[in-house]
Amino acid sequence: MRQIFAADESLSWVRADFEAMASSASLLIFRVQSLLGQVVPLRHRSVVRRPSSAASGVLACGVEAAEATALAVEGLTLAFGGAVAFEAIDLTVQAGEIHAVIGPNGAGKSSLINAISGLYAPQSGSVRIGAARFSRVPAHRLAALGVARTFQNLALFKGLSVFENVLSGLAGAQRAGLAAQMLGLPQARREARAQRERAADVIARLDLAGVADRPVGTLPFGVQKRVELARALVARPRLLLLDEPMAGMTATEKAEMSRFIREARESLGSAIVLIEHDIGVVMRLSDRVTVLDHGRRIAHGTPAQVQANPAVIAAYLGLADEPEAEAA
């Protein structure tokens, strides 16, 4: 039942989005596009889930609610010595939701992602991933928890080809042991074949087939960013953390990347946390937005709510009005 509520609620923010949007004629065109992108999957979801949750009763409801919240960050605080990276951050991301985290440079966005993925140890607060709650997320268990991420400054395996990099995204799911691999036992061969098929599938979907055998270090930056997304997607994560996946990209590349991210959400139903500087991209792509400034959450809500928030305009969006004016 919670599920239906969540879906209806998200429809209501879409409506709010629409109302807010109508006031701004210059934004109308891409807002309608984003609406189309949002309404269709949400309807689809509520249609699919309504009968199943009604049939499975109360017990299943609890399970589904737990499953629906992919990530819940509660009161998370991180400091390096005396320097506070962020303080008392709350962030909840539902399954199938694209949640953007925005804010000026140094607002603590990347630190937040790094804390969620266990690379930094927060001083207080907790991170709940699926049903498991941590005060410090164990990085080595991320893959098993169904979490994948990309890195702001690329963390690809330079000595491997594109295909091998994508395959390595399945390292956490590897079952066959070393002996089975070396002897080529049926179990290991079956697993290897299944992994190659999955990797090839993701590579094809992200338009990387042409460069699959190239050493990853020889590719342009934008393509490497896409390889990193492929390496994260191949594991079919329930929670996907994207740290500036479109940094340094051209407008065309950004549009392409946005499409890949949206498709990933549609096909995998992943919850996605997205750090992005391009406000246009954020407004078009995300369902909800959290705004950080100086390590504090200053606003959260739908893109339209956030955009209308005076604190946000003061801290951040005021500076970002220019590119939108240009777009109009």
Partner 1 sequence: MTTAIALSAKPRNLSGPVGVAVLLATAFGLVPLVGSDYLFEAILTPFLALALAGLGLNLLTGYAGLLSLGSAAFMAVGAYAAFNLSLRVPGLPLPVSILGAGLVAAAAGLVAGLPALRLRGFYLAVSTLAAQFFVAWALNRIGWLSNDSPSGVINAPRLVVAGLSFEDARGRYLFSLTVVALLTVAAWRLVRSPTGRNLVAIRDQEIAARIVGVKVARTKLLAFALSSFVVGIAGVLWAFAYLRTVEPAGFNLDRSFQILFIVIIGGLGTLRGAFLGAGFIVVLPLALSRLGAVLPGDGFDSGTLEMVQRIVLGALIVAVLIREPAGLAALLDRAGRRLRLPA
What mask, x for binding partner 1 by CB under 8 A, covers residues 103 to 122? --------------x-x---
184 in contact with partner 1 (CB under 8 A): yes
55 in contact with partner 1 (CB under 8 A): no
Whether 142 contacts 240, CB under 8 Å? no
Nearer to partner 1, 143 or 308 (CB): 143
Nearer to partner 1, 54 or 155 (CB): 155
- Please count the residues of this chain forming the interface with partner 1, following the rule CB under 8 A: 34
* Residues 286-325 close enough to bind partner 1 by CB under 8 A: none
Q: To which residue do tokens 């927060």 refer? A: 122
* Residues 192-251 close enough to bind partner 1 by CB under 8 A: 192, 195, 231, 235
Q: CB under 8 Å, gap of 24 or more: what pairs does 215-220 form?
A: 215/158, 215/159, 215/160, 215/161, 216/156, 216/157, 216/158, 216/160, 216/161, 216/162, 216/165, 217/156, 217/158, 219/162
77 in contact with partner 1 (CB under 8 A): no
Of 46, 123, 174, 305, which one interacts with partner 1 (CB under 8 A)?
Answer: 174
Adjacent-strand bridge partners of 240: 148, 272
Whether 237 contacts 269, CB under 8 Å? no
Q: How many CB atoms lie within 10 A of CB 152?
A: 15
Of 3, 34, 111, 168, which one interacts with partner 1 (CB under 8 A)?
Answer: 168
Of 29, 171, 255, 328, which one interacts with partner 1 (CB under 8 A)?
Answer: 171
Nearer to partner 1, 69 or 114 (CB): 114
Rounded distance, CA 253 to CA 246, Å? 8
Q: Closest distance between partner 1 and the C-beta of residue 29, in Å? A: 38
* Residues 122-161 close enough to bind partner 1 by CB under 8 A: 139-140, 142-144, 148-149, 151, 155-160
Of 6, 116, 176, 289, which one interacts with partner 1 (CB under 8 A)?
Answer: 176
Q: Closest distance between partner 1 and the C-beta of residue 144, in Å? A: 7
Rounded distance, CA 116 to CA 101, Å? 13
Nearer to partner 1, 37 or 122 (CB): 122
43 in contact with partner 1 (CB under 8 A): no
Which of the ranges 72-80, 92-100, 168-176, 201-209 carries the binding residues for partner 1, by CB under 8 A?
A: 168-176
Edge-first strand order for the sheet with 271-275 is 147-149, 239-243, 271-275, 98-102, 288-293, 296-301
Nearer to partner 1, 197 or 321 (CB): 197
Whether 222 contacts 158, CB under 8 Å? no
Nearer to partner 1, 24 or 174 (CB): 174
Nearer to partner 1, 149 or 226 (CB): 149
Residues 165-187 as b/e (b if ≥16 CB within 10 A, e otherwise) read: bbbbbbebeeebeeebeeeeeee
Q: Closest distance between partner 1 and the C-beta of residue 235, in Å? A: 7
Contacts with partner 1, residue ranges (CB under 8 A): 117, 119, 139-140, 142-144, 148-149, 151, 155-160, 164, 167-174, 176, 178, 181-182, 184, 192, 195, 231, 235
